[in-house]
Amino acid sequence: MLLEGLKVVELATWVAGPGCAMIMAEWGADVIKIESPAGDATRAFFPDTPESPGNPVFSMENRGKRAIVLDIASADGRDALITILKGADVFVTNLRPGALKRARLDYDSLAPSLPRLVYASVSGYGLSGAEADVPAFDLTGFWTRTGVAAATIPPDQEPFPCRPGFGDHVTALATLAGVLAALRERDRTGAGRLVETSLMRAGVYTLGWDTSVHLRYGTAMTAVPRRDRPGALSGYFRTSDDRWFCLVPRGPKCFPALMAAIGRAELAGEPRYLPPITDLETVRELRAVLDEVFASLTLAEAGERLTQADLIWAPMASLAEVARDPQAEAAGCFVETRDHWGGKFPAPAAPVRFPGLAESPRGAAPKLGQHTGEVLREAGYGREALEALLRSGAAVQASPTPDR
């Protein structure tokens, strides 16, 4: 496997930090998830029982990891974490910077004794500035605060939230890229470093086209009601079977190709319809022609014409349609994930494929404290020291319940 031999310690909850570590586990790294006795909050989203096995949300972010429980607020629990980190290559955490500093688990506290450690900090708003310690989810720090929501939601609509994990997964990928770059640097220099990502920075980058235009010119196009959108050919159209699809022209040749595809080739020679159209009333007039034609066609009929004309389009698919889409299957969008009850269930795959390598997750998402004793013994704890740690509550081992 690509990351075989790499040891990753994760002290994180929810999505962005665990999502980054999950992909590394999928690529072969040994990922150890550190949890409090209460466990990652996403464990509680869905039951993991014989009747309803495999919490899909927790499994999505944590499959293939090992899990231990430490009370890092206690001196013994913190010492155990430091002992584990001494054998680690990467530390991923999304605890708030202030909490990490108080626990002396921030980068500046750890770096002197762990100089080779790549320390990945995932936060809402970064590690500096007046709001560095303000809590955030992707709905606030990524979607709402960075302009993504305002640029996406038309002003005639009531604001709506992004779907869960949307910005978190973008941030997870950014964190992964930073970690891999830092590991490459460590191969050359022998030294680890701090890698910093935030929901805010990832959101600004994701909205990069609009943001860059605003930074350069002081203005930018954002979402507007359909009637006021300046592109006649670009956008969503509804078919006779009440389906929507998205059409996006890629160049001047698309206009005559589209007019021929809808049986209105004569419009390609109309000077006022030639792109770019600067008059909004003309845009509305041409869009009305397209609306009328597509409203007379089924999605299958419209799609066949657009595909034959080599135009860029896509149907607006429901999740049910995506789940049975043969192209999504062929593109490797899904993997089979094991549960703890002898079964498997489909789940979204990591977004990168390495042809020739196995793509299935290496294991089920771990139970709370499932590997506490195993990991601490690997870190050098003898039987008596481990038993003392467990008796004190600084570490918790799950009751032995072998997987079926």
pLDDT digits 0-9 by tens, 112-169: 999 999 999 999 999 999 999 999 999 999 999 999 999 999 988 999 999 999 999 9
> 15 and 92 in contact (C-beta within 8 Å)?
no
Instruction: Please report, as a single letter, which amino acid is at residue 123.
Output: S
**pLDDT surpassing 80 at residue 251:** yes
Name the DSSP class of 249.
-
Confidence (pLDDT) at 382: 97
Q: Evaluate whether 30 touches 66 at the Cβ level (below 8 Å).
A: yes
Give the C-alpha separation, 383 to 389, whole Å: 10
- Total-model pTM: 0.94
Q: What are the boundaries of each domain within the chain?
A: 7-208+333-396, 231-318
Q: CATH assignment of 231-318?
A: 3.30.1540.10
User: Could you give the CA distance from residue 76 to residue 71 in angstroms, rounded to a whole number?
Assistant: 8
Alpha carbons 111 and 232: distance in angstroms, whole number: 56
Residue 222 is predicted with a pLDDT of: 84
CA-derived radius of gyration, the chain: 26
Whether the per-residue pLDDT at 402 is higher than 70: the answer is: no
Mention the CATH class of domain 7-208+333-396.
Answer: alpha beta
CB atoms within 10 A of CB 282: 14
Residue with the larger pLDDT of the pair 355 and 275: 355
Q: H/E/C letters for each residue in 15-80?
A: CHHHHHHHHHHHCCCEEEEEECCCCCHHHHCCCCCCCCCCCHHHHHHHCCCEEEEECCCCHHHHHH
Q: How far is CA 403 from the centre of its chain?
A: 29
What confidence score (pLDDT) does residue 401 get?
57
Q: Among residues 254, 213, 210, 208, which one has the least CA distance to residue 232?
A: 254
Q: What pLDDT, in 10s, does the model give residues 328-344?
A: 999 999 999 999 888 99
pLDDT tens per residue across span 162-211: 999 999 999 999 999 999 999 999 999 999 999 999 999 999 999 999 99
